[in-house]
Amino acid sequence: MLRFFNKNNRLSDLSDLITDVHSHLIPEIDDGATSVEQSLHLIKGLKDLGYKKLIATPHVISDFYQNTPEKINKGLLILRNALKEANINIEIEVAAEYYLDFDFQKKLDTEELLTFGSNYLLFELPFYNKPQFFEETVFKMQTLGYKPVLAHPERFTFWNNDFKAYNDLKDRGVLLQININSLVGGYSAQARKIAEKLIVNNMVDFVGSDTHNQHHIELLKKSLNNKYLIDLIKKGSLLNKTL
């Protein structure tokens, strides 16, 4: 049941999403939380916003964050123990946010990748150039049984003036995960515009917080007034709540 304040149609929280599918909460592993203490602070903030389950998705980028499933799961264990000690009751799991580069292609051949839900595989692209092997890699993911989920597609500038590209993504079976904070100016004005247009055209499958720091928590609070987010949640089509 959706929860609104009667006077201004404002979301009281994000509890109807149930699950956040994109965050950087594992400490000291990428550009997200820098300590266990900060992780706990961010998780408390997400819990207060109504989330019941969090899926932490550390970056896996060959040149920067060479995270392995073993390293990520070790971080999860540390965080779960810290949550228990701090008496913060919330479900937390891990997947990963894979950067689509040549190293990722090798991983597809040689590793079992970290996924969430029904084999959903979260991946991202370079912000300014679409990889030449993009379509080939998407097909390979699907052939291997993964369900590709493109993180924050609204932020990739090479598609800013080519909205038909998003239709092509959907036709290829790529699921789209927008960042909630894109709707409240967390990135560029263009990212906000594209996120809004994706919502209007019923093309959004997941929403994520992409929480890295406290600033992102504050933006999430601001999003409770956003008419596009309200409309998207009211439609009831988001997959977050199925996880």
The one-digit pLDDT tens for each residue of the chain (243 residues) are 444 443 567 899 999 999 999 999 999 999 999 999 999 999 999 999 999 999 999 999 998 899 999 999 999 999 999 999 999 999 999 999 999 998 999 999 999 999 999 999 999 999 999 999 999 999 999 999 999 999 999 999 999 889 999 999 999 999 999 999 999 999 999 999 999 999 999 999 999 999 999 999 999 999 999 999 999 999 999 999 999
pLDDT of residue 2: 47
Q: Is residue 179 part of a domain?
A: yes
pLDDT of residue 160: 87
pLDDT of residue 7: 52
Q: Is residue 113 part of a domain?
A: yes
Q: Is residue 159 part of a domain?
A: yes
Q: Is residue 3 part of a domain?
A: no
Place of tokens 């799991």: 93
Domain containing 168 equals: 15-242
Domain count, the chain: 1
- Specify the 3-state DSSP secondary structure of 227: helix
Long-range contacts formed by 27-33: CB under 8 A, 24+ apart: 27/75, 27/78, 27/79, 28/75, 29/58, 29/65, 29/67, 29/71, 29/72, 29/75, 30/58, 30/59, 30/64, 30/65, 30/67, 31/59, 31/65, 31/212, 32/58, 32/211, 32/212, 32/213, 33/212, 33/213
Q: Is residue 156 part of a domain?
A: yes
Q: Is residue 2 part of a domain?
A: no
Q: What is the mean pLDDT of the chain?
A: 95
- Taking a C-beta distance cutoff of 8 angstroms, is the pair 116, 151 a contact? no
The CATH number of residue 103's host domain is: 3.20.20.140
pLDDT of residue 1: 44
Give the pLDDT confidence of 150-177 residue by residue, as tens digits: 999 999 999 988 999 999 999 999 999 9
List the one residue out of 193, 190, 222 whose CA is nearest residue 209: 222
Q: Is residue 6 part of a domain?
A: no
Q: Is residue 10 part of a domain?
A: no
